[in-house]
Amino acid sequence: MCGFAGYLDLGENRTDNRIIKKMTDIIKHRGPDDEEYFITDGYAVGFRRLSIIDLAGGRQPMTNEDGSLVLVFNGEIYNYRGIRDELLAKGHVFSTNSDSEVLLHGYEEYGKDLFDKLRGMFSFAIYDKDKEEIFAARDFFGIKPFYYALMDGAFIFGSEIKSLLEHPSFKKELNEKALESYLSFQYSPGPETFFRNTFKLTPGHWLRFSKDMDEPETGRYWIPEFSAEEEPSLDYWVDAIEKTFDNSVETHKISDVEVGSFLSSGVDSSYVACSANVDKTFTVGFDYGEKYNETDYARELSEMIPVKNISKIITAEEYWGNFEKIQWHMDEPLADPSAVALYFVSREAAKHLKVVLSGEGADEIFGGYNIYREPLEVPAYNRIPFPIRKLAGGIASALPAKRGLNFVVRRGKKLEDRFIGNANMFSVKERSKLLKRSGLAPAPAQIVKPWYDMVKDKDPVTKMQFVDLNAWMVGDILLKADKMSMANSLELRVPFLDKEVMALAARLPLKYRVNKENTKYAMRIAASRRMPDKWSQKKKLGFPVPIRVWLKEPEYIEKIREAFTSEVTGQFFNTDVLLKLLEDHISDKADNSRKIWTVYTFLVWYGVYFGGAVA
């Protein structure tokens, strides 16, 4: 695990080693063990290393035998040894035992066909000195990030946006389109970022850029494909899940250093911890009752495995006091409160080791979110003609919020219009009232439409999973996993997000993913072979953070009010609308905690990157 930054510059900054040093130093947290640079006429790249595989060798940037190709790579290739044997048989000469060199020679031998062979998480860039061309790629699911910009004759790229900001050709401007979309999604969806003309390479894509191109060329090399098989029995699927997941966990443990595991009260991390045979698990919680504290669950399961559990209670002062620093590490605002908790559990783990396993991805591929059950509820309601349901939904939406009405409101919309992912904060109408300038970004339904179009022949639950795999998981789940772990120089590995596990999950029939009994139905049965039902059958909760509790306390209410009435806030938002959100929450007219937090997170992030502290 590591971080890199580089540029292909045809202008006056071509070979200034001070530039690449600054770009790389600012991401030292991604790799505190080593630093190295490669500089030639027009191209410079820097690398920060967190040593995990081939500790003595494996230094980057790395070149091939004749020095014509230069590689920087962030991630792990778990099946690199098998590919290395193939390449040795074909005559390639290796100077290290690292997975990095396998990528380099693999690209030489197979070109883009290399992706068919890889199993792992990665982002990398290979520079061809003869062609003066960069070839880059991001892994299948988007576990590792890759950012880029083309500005003033320079193609600039890196593992984090903050590296790009250090290049003198980079023009730092806010992308207000991203703000508008963020208010609905709670993250920036798609390839655009919060910085104008700055992009993230999307998962399963490659990129090519050379000195004679006006803009980068990109293409997709992989996409998950669901194709359910109805005939095999439940026992067949449970056996297959157990066998495939065990293989993935064992593969993800390849390392020359100790590997630990995160552990919450949920089935995903519990299944990982029970399968991994690690020495330590790590848990955090909040001292606001059992609802917000999973440490007892984690400690009890750890004693059963048995394994040492290391836990921490996060105080409100710690949470709020570190929020600015966390937004700096995040690069872009993310309004998921659990991101901060992930920062603290990563910090605890990093005191003991360099690598942890975690449970991200299980919900998306096996059907774990509670919202996935919605299309299966009250099936008779679906037989009512849609125009009537639409009318009923419109009437219900105009009434005061009441239990049961939300069902009528949601069923009054087509799935493609009501489901944009696991977060849906502000509607188009709400954000147009909130923002000083609106209508810049497309409606949320337009953003997710390309993914719906790819699975238009599938059932509603599969459609929802596919949208989450391409939007929510990338923009929220994996963003915080990478940024919060790397903020603490910790490598986070996700054995559920493996090509072989995905291939199996894609064949799983709907009835064994989501049904009346539970979500992740077959996976939970497989997990129950390793742990009691207390964990394997526990209802999906997400990571509980007491934001709504804090936003009833005078100290934090005042903090938010100061932020909402600041001069910076007035540049973007209608203050009266913001204050009404806050007052309605305080008076219990509505639970606006997540909407308030979404705006506040942006304001803190904006203060960090553009100046003008808000509170």
The CATH number of the domain holding residue 25 is 3.60.20.10
Q: Tokens 């591929």 sit at which residue?
A: 365
User: Angle at CA 600, nearest 5°, toward 342 and 424?
Assistant: 75
In a shared domain, residues 161 and 297: no
Pairwise CA distance, residues 59 & 35, whole Å: 9
Query: Is residue 35 classed as helix, strand or coil in its secondary structure?
Result: strand
Taking each helix axis as running N to C, give the angle between helix 176-185 and helix 444-454, from 0 to 180 degrees, rounded to the nearest 10.
70
In a shared domain, residues 124 and 260: no
Going through 307-451 in order, the beta strands assigned E by DSSP cover 308-314, 355-357
Residue 305 predicted with pLDDT over 60: yes
What is the widest separation between alpha-carbon atoms in the chain? 73
333 cis-preceded (ω within 30 degrees of 0): no
Q: What is the pLDDT of residue 570?
A: 95
Handedness of CA 443, 444, 450, 452 (dihedral sign): negative
Pairwise CA distance, residues 490 & 350, whole Å: 6
**Mean pLDDT, residues 283-309 taken together:** 89
Q: What is the pLDDT of residue 403?
A: 67
DSSP 8-state symbol, 573: B
Which two structure tokens, joined as six digits, stand for 272?
């990982």
Would 452 be classed as within a structural domain? no
What is the percent of the chain where pLDDT is above 90?
A: 81
Which two structure tokens, joined as six digits, stand for 199?
């992009």
Taking only the tens place, the pLDDT of each residue in 486-530 is 999 999 999 999 999 999 999 999 999 999 878 999 999 999 999
How many residues comprise the chain? 615
Confidence of residue 89 (pLDDT cuts 50, 70, 90): very high
Print the domain residue range for 283.
234-367+469-536
Query: Is residue 504 classed as helix, strand or coil in its secondary structure?
Result: helix
Pairwise CA distance, residues 550 & 367, whole Å: 32
Give the end of a domain, one of 220, 244, 265.
220
The question of whether 274 is a catalytic residue gets the answer no
In a shared domain, residues 158 and 291: no
**How many CA atoms lie less than 13 Å away from 389 in the CB half-sphere?**
17
Would 226 be classed as within a structural domain? no
CATH code where residue 483 lies: 3.40.50.620
Contact (Cβ atoms closer than 8 angstroms) between residue 481 and residue 225: no
Pairwise CA distance, residues 601 & 368, whole Å: 27
Would 402 be classed as within a structural domain? no
Would 432 be classed as within a structural domain? no
Q: Tokens 């039902």 sit at which residue?
A: 533
Q: Tokens 């990030």 sit at which residue?
A: 145
Which two structure tokens, joined as six digits, stand for 501?
């596990």
Would 582 be classed as within a structural domain? yes
- Using CA atoms, how far residue 584 sits from 427, 539, 551, 578, 589, in Å, is 18, 30, 11, 10, 5
**Residue 464 backbone zone (phi > 0: left; psi -120 to 50: alpha; other: beta):** alpha
- Using CA atoms, how far residue 481 sits from 426, 571, 579, in Å, is 24, 31, 32
Which two structure tokens, joined as six digits, stand for 350?
């990093």
Confidence of residue 60 (pLDDT cuts 50, 70, 90): confident
In a shared domain, residues 204 and 260: no
Other C-beta atoms within 10 Å of 503: how many?
Answer: 14
Cα 44 from chain centre: 28
In a shared domain, residues 7 and 114: yes
3-state secondary structure 485-499: HHCCCCEEECCCCCH
In a shared domain, residues 143 and 259: no
Q: What is the pLDDT of residue 325?
A: 97
What is the percent of the chain where pLDDT is above 70?
A: 96
Q: Tokens 């991630």 sit at which residue?
A: 75
Pairwise CA distance, residues 76 & 139, whole Å: 10
Q: What is the mean pLDDT of the chain?
A: 93
**Residue 460 backbone zone (phi > 0: left; psi -120 to 50: alpha; other: beta):** alpha
Instruction: Name the CA dihedral angle for 274, 277, 278, 280, rounded to a multiple of 10 degrees.
Output: 50
Q: What is the pLDDT of residue 298?
A: 92
216 cis-preceded (ω within 30 degrees of 0): no
DSSP 8-state symbol, 117: T
Give the end of a domain, one of 499, 515, 536.
536
Taking only the tens place, the pLDDT of each residue in 217-260 is 999 999 999 999 999 999 999 999 999 999 999 999 988 788 99
Nearest CA to 365 out of 535, 273, 245 is that of 245
Query: How many domains does the chain divide into?
Result: 3
In a shared domain, residues 12 and 127: yes
Taking only the tens place, the pLDDT of each residue in 413-429 is 899 999 999 999 999 99
Would 392 be classed as within a structural domain? no
Would 243 be classed as within a structural domain? yes
Pairwise CA distance, residues 84 & 86, whole Å: 5
Contact (Cβ atoms closer than 8 angstroms) between residue 208 and residue 134: yes
Confidence of residue 52 (pLDDT cuts 50, 70, 90): low
In a shared domain, residues 197 and 281: no
DSSP 44-73: EEEEEE---SSSSS--SSEE-TTS-EEEEE
Q: What is the pLDDT of residue 411?
A: 84
Taking only the tens place, the pLDDT of each residue in 127-175 is 999 999 999 999 999 999 999 999 998 999 999 999 999 999 999 999 9
| Helix ranges, 509-592 (H) | 521-527, 533-536, 547-550, 554-564, 567-572, 575-586
Q: What is the pLDDT of residue 513?
A: 97
Nearest CA to 452 out of 439, 443, 462 is that of 462
Query: In this predicted model, which residue has the larger pLDDT, 474 or 55?
Result: 474
Pairwise CA distance, residues 106 & 113, whole Å: 9
Pairwise CA distance, residues 87 & 102, whole Å: 8
Which two structure tokens, joined as six digits, stand for 536?
């394997």
Describe the strand order of the beta sheet including 62-63 as a list of residue ranges. Answer: 62-63, 69-77, 120-128, 133-138, 205-210, 217-220
For the purposes of burial, counting CB atoms within 10 Å of the CB of 610, is it exposed (0-12), middle (13-18) or buried (19 or more)? middle
Would 436 be classed as within a structural domain? no
Give me the catalytic one of 1, 2, 26, 505. Answer: 2
Q: What is the pLDDT of residue 363?
A: 97
In a shared domain, residues 252 and 292: yes
Q: What is the pLDDT of residue 576?
A: 96
In a shared domain, residues 20 and 150: yes
Describe the strand order of the beta sheet including 491-493 as a list of residue ranges. Answer: 308-314, 280-286, 259-262, 355-357, 491-493
Pairwise CA distance, residues 194 & 185, whole Å: 13
Q: What is the pLDDT of residue 409?
A: 83
Pairwise CA distance, residues 499 & 505, whole Å: 10
Nearest CA to 357 out of 295, 282, 304, 300 is that of 282
Q: What is the pLDDT of residue 55?
A: 60
Taking only the tens place, the pLDDT of each residue in 2-47 is 899 999 987 665 667 899 999 999 999 999 888 899 999 889 999 9
In a shared domain, residues 28 and 166: yes
Q: Kind of pairing, strands 259-262 and 280-286?
A: parallel
Residue 404 predicted with pLDDT over 80: no
**Residue 579 backbone zone (phi > 0: left; psi -120 to 50: alpha; other: beta):** alpha
Give the end of a domain, one of 536, 563, 586.
536
In a shared domain, residues 130 and 73: yes
